[in-house]
Copies of this chain bind each other. A is one copy, B any other.
Amino acid sequence: MDDTRTKLLEAAGPIFADHGFQATTVRDICQRAGVNLASVNYYFGDKERLYVETVKRAHGLAVDQVPLPDWSDDTPPEVKLRDFVRTLIERMIGVKHASWQMRLMMREILQPSAACRELVESYFRPHLDVLLGILDEMLPASAPEHRRAQLAFSLVGQCLYYRVAGEIVNMLVPEEQRQRWFSPPQLADHIAQVMLAALGRTEPLSTQLQSDCATGVCHTD
């Protein structure tokens, strides 16, 4: 399928992700796609319709690219939580240092547009439900609903941070330290450790870091 329509969609993705809706020009997209200027209006009606289609396609590709593992019924919740974090981090910053799909979705998160409602229901809500299910296995039944949600947001927030503020992290952390200690799996394991320690499923971090700090960090498998 390399018809003009899909060529347009594929060209539009990275450009919209980089510059946002307003700042990208249909001329730019058409040039990148190698098609005539009028094509976007012919196939999508106008620029905005093309944008919405691009966003939909983006999150479709994003979930396919790094899917959640399907756990067996006896997988302990600690492992599920760690896997969940790893998947999130991988989607955020793993795939070739941030795919255009994620960059585009990030724009929608920060400034929701017409394409966003669908994004929430078909992407965020299901993932939140999975995470809430994992947390339920570790929390007492008396834990109120809003605390579960806030815990989920705490976890997601830590992952999202490296996507949103990645450039800032790059400026704050020296190059060599970043290379050695800030790889996606390392960050994922750190976040999982924080959450598990907070939930009381692991020793607190301060005691973990007291003894044997070399091996305590990189149990990456």
Query: Could you tell me which A residues sit within 8 Å of B by CB distance?
Result: 19-20, 22-23, 106, 109-112, 116-117, 120, 124-125, 128, 138-140, 142-147, 149-151, 153-154, 156-162, 164-165, 167-169, 171-173, 177, 180-182, 187, 190-191, 193-195, 197-201, 203-207, 209-210, 213, 217
Sorted from nearest, which 5 A-B pairs have the closest CB atoms?
Answer: A200-B204, A157-B161, A146-B181, A22-B23, A143-B209
Complex CA distance for A143 and B180, rounded to whole angstroms? 16
Q: Whole-angstrom distance from the CB of A53 to the nearest CB of chain B?
A: 21
A111 to chain B, nearest CB (A): 8
Is the Cβ of A151 less than 8 Å from the Cβ of B194?
A: yes
What residues on B are CB-neighbors of A203 within 8 Å? 200
- Find out whether the CB atom of B147 lies under 8 angstroms from the CB atom of A209: yes
Q: Which of B112, B125, B158, B205 contacts A172 (CB 8 A)?
A: B125
Interface of A, secondary structure class, is helix
Query: Within the oligomer, what is the number of copies of this chain?
Result: 2
Contacts A/B (CB < 8 Å), 21 sampled:
A20-B20, A20-B22, A23-B23, A109-B165, A112-B167, A116-B167, A120-B171, A125-B172, A142-B210, A143-B210, A146-B177, A146-B181, A150-B182, A150-B190, A153-B162, A153-B165, A160-B160, A194-B198, A195-B198, A197-B199, A200-B203
Given known A-B contacts A139-B209, A205-B151, A164 and B172 have beta carbons under 8 A apart: no
Q: Which residues of B contact A190 (CB under 8 A)?
A: 147, 150, 154
B205 and A199 contact, CB distance less than 8 A: yes
Residues of B within 8 A of A197 (CB): 197-200, 204
Q: Which chain B residues border A167 with CB–CB below 8 Å?
A: 109, 111-112, 116
Q: Does A169 contact B181, Cβ atoms closer than 8 Å? A: no
In the bound complex, residues from chain B placing their C-beta under 8 Å from that of A154 are 158, 161, 190-191, 194
Pick the contact of A158: B153, B173, B206, B209 (CB < 8 A): B153
In the bound complex, residues from chain B placing their C-beta under 8 Å from that of A157 are 157-162, 165
Of the residues B109, B120, B125, B138, contact of A164 by C-beta under 8 Å: B109
Name the B residues within 8 Å of A23 (CB-CB): 20, 22-23
